[in-house]
Structure formats: structure tokens, C-alpha cells
Amino acid sequence: MSIAKFTKSPLTEVICGVEFNALDFASVHFGLYWQTIRDRFPHPPLDRPPIGEIELLNILPTLRRVWFESDDRRQLIQLQANRFHYNWRQQDESDQYPHFHEIYPNFSQEWQKFENWWLKTEKNPLQPIRYELTYLNQIDQRFGWNHSSDYPKIFNFLGEGWSELSLSSHAFNANLEFNLPEDRGILSVSLNQGIRPKDNVSVVILNLTASTTDTSVEIEKWFDLAHQSTVDIFLNLISLEVKQEWGLTWLD
């Protein structure tokens, strides 16, 4: 299978997650779990994102959330009483996206270790009830966006009439939803215009989140399907000109 790769990409974060049932999960478990991963995630746990981070409030509910960061801060585990999320994050503009087939094995390994730790600690297995895969893109002037009038240059689903309307538009937000193949869940796409806290630059946040509550499917197969669907939808959303500007290539 060919792999799509951009020499210049707005992708800043990839998140693999599992929602689960664990009725006995308590605050003490956050500290106990950290003791088992300190060699890989040595920074002291954070109960909230650092100032300047963009919170994905539509992905994680407003329950207590603890962050465990790797030494280079490019890997992150977000843990709640009912959710486990593994993130790859871009830390500076020179960081290259390592590709999903490098990220997923890290997530799978950490999730399995978390499952085993929980079983050893509480003697009852976790019950996954939802899988999620999120791709977060921040599109700014480096990628051809400065104003609402620039949307049609980037996205295929806006017609020519949008350019004239957008001249007087202050902001534009949109939500799209697609069915995953084989009836394996949905793919939600959101466009949100905002300001990036760290440098006060205007950005468009393009968020693609695939999810399913059918956890009877093998987890690796579902994430493979979700990843491929996310890539396909992303490539269909953006214009041919932008694909060329961002340096789209195909690797065997």
C-alpha cells in the first residue's frame, strides 16, 4: 500500500485512545500507574494542560485528566478514570511526523501495559467501550491561510461563491461527518478558527476524529481502517494546488 507523505505538513498531533469501564478507578491510581512508566514518562504528572496548550475539549470530557510526558515531550499519555489516550505531538517546526505505522505500535504497547497493570492491581480486566483516532492540524500563513477568504484555496468543499462572501466574514467554523467503511463508526471533521496562544498567530484548526463503540472488532484492524479513512478524507478535503504546495508524495 502506498503511503501519502507531505514535505510540509500542518499536522501537529496524533491521538490514539480507548474509553473503558473501570468502576474502581480512584485518584490513587494515577500515582500508582506513574510509578510503572517513570522510565519512559519521567516528568511529574500534570492535572491540567500547561498554559499555551490547545485543549481538545470535544475529545476528552471534563473529568479529572492527568498528563504523563516523555523526556522530549513529544509523547504524552492522557489518563482519566475512563479513558486512556496516547499522543504524538510536534514540539517545534522542524519535527517530522513519524507516520502512523510508528505511532500506533507505541500506543498499542502502552495500552497493553496499562491493561496488564490494571489487571494486576485490581484483579478485574478493563472493558473497552470506544476507540478513537484523532489527527489535529494547525493551518496558518505558512500553509496559505491568513483570512476567511483563503478557505476556498485550501478546501474543496467550498464553492467559488464563498470567496466573495468571506470578504466580510469575521470567522468561519464548520463540522462534517462521514461513515467509516464496513459500518465501523464515524469520522467527524471540524474546522475552527482561532488564535494560537504561544505566538498569538491566527490559525485554522482542522480536527479529524474517527470513533466507534463497536469494540468487538480487533483493535489493530479498527485503527488501521480508521487511519486509512482519515487520510483518504483529508486528501479529498484539500485542493490539488495545496497538495502540490505542501509537497504531497507517495511512498511504496
Residue 76, CB-side half-sphere exposure with 13 Å CA sphere: 21
**SS3 call for 178:** strand
pLDDT at 34 over 60: yes
Distances from the Cα of 166 to the Cα of 13, 78, 205, angstroms: 28, 38, 18
Q: For the residues 220-236, what does the mean pLDDT come to?
A: 97
pLDDT at 163 over 70: no
| Banded model confidence at residue 88, pLDDT cuts 50, 70, 90 | very high
**What CA–CA distance (Å, rounded) separates 33 from 31?**
5
pLDDT of residue 52: 46
Question: Pairing relation of β-strands 66-69 and 75-79?
Answer: antiparallel
Phi then psi for residue 92, to 5 deg, are -150, 170
pLDDT at 234 over 90: yes
Q: For the residues 176-188, what does the mean pLDDT come to?
A: 97
| Banded model confidence at residue 55, pLDDT cuts 50, 70, 90 | very low
- Considering its fold, how many domains does the chain have in total? 1
pTM, two decimals, is 0.91
Q: For the residues 137-164, what does the mean pLDDT come to?
A: 81
pLDDT of residue 33: 97
Element (DSSP H or E) covering residue 135? strand 127-139
Cell of 193: 478558527
| Banded model confidence at residue 156, pLDDT cuts 50, 70, 90 | confident
Q: For the residues 154-181, what does the mean pLDDT come to?
A: 75
**SS3 call for 247:** coil
Where in the sequence is the domain holding 43, given as residue range(s)?
3-251
